[in-house]
Amino acid sequence: MRLPRSSDPELLGLIDRYVNPAVGGVVRYLGLLHGNFARCREVDRTAFLQALGVAARRTTDEELEVLLQSEWRSRLTAAWLIGVDRRAYFSDVLGDLLLDSRLCFSGQGYAFALARFGGAEDAGYLTAYLDRYLRRPDCQYDQHWAVSALAHIDGRAGTGHAARFLSPGGLWQQWADAQPSPADPADRRVDELCALVDRYTPIPR
């Protein structure tokens, strides 16, 4: 498939429609980056997430595929839209993009979406990512998001995939200890973000 050029009218239209709209005083991709929307005032967060839910249901698979081939803002946004709408058939696409880790920040969206899907295959991609990149202390990518997403799946499915990474002396501690400045401990940020999405963007049945 031809990669979209930054000047393609189709891509520019999708970016205007899905990536850059400002809702609740926040540009969409900036609200999704680091889960920043969670720290907004409730009224702004509500507006932001309700609009996100509408966009997630409205966008087509073909539009998402175009965004996933573009720059990091578009990929981040597309992954969130996929995750909000739980389009689990994108699991392999997002899992492969996560493992490649070619663009900054977009891995946050891939990890969120895989957590929303919550299947064994999704846990497998997150596990493979952590096995690869926790052994690379020079890579400060999206390890926090991946371990939080894996812990989210464990909490919902009753599995224990994240335990071996988080055990004392395990790969998480080894990676964190090797960082030039103290790394934040593993957290449950994906639990919080998924809960907010479930509350404000319920998917019609």
Q: pLDDT tens, 63-94?
A: 999 999 999 999 999 999 999 999 999 999 99
Check residue 2 and give its pLDDT: 41
| 3 is a domain residue | no
CATH number reported for the structural domain that contains residue 115 in this entry: 1.25.10
Distance CA 151, CA 118 (A): 10
Q: For residue 36, tell me if it sits in a domain.
A: yes
Q: Quick check: is 1 in a domain?
A: no
- The model's pTM is 0.93
Is 204 within a domain?
Answer: no
In-domain check, residue 165: yes
Containing domain of residue 142, as a range?
Answer: 9-199
3 state SS of 188: coil
Residues sharing a CB contact under 8 Å with residue 68, sequence separation 6 or more, in sequence order: 74, 75, 78, 79, 93, 97
- The one-character DSSP state at 16 is I
Measured between alpha carbons, how far is 86 from 119 in angstroms, rounded to an integer? 11
Confidence (pLDDT) at 183: 66
Counting the structural domains of the chain, the total is 1
Domain membership of residue 127 (yes or no) is: yes
164-173 per-position pLDDT tens digit: 999 999 999 9
pLDDT digit string, tens, across residues 156-189:
999 999 999 999 999 999 999 998 876 677 788 9
- What's the pLDDT at 205? 45
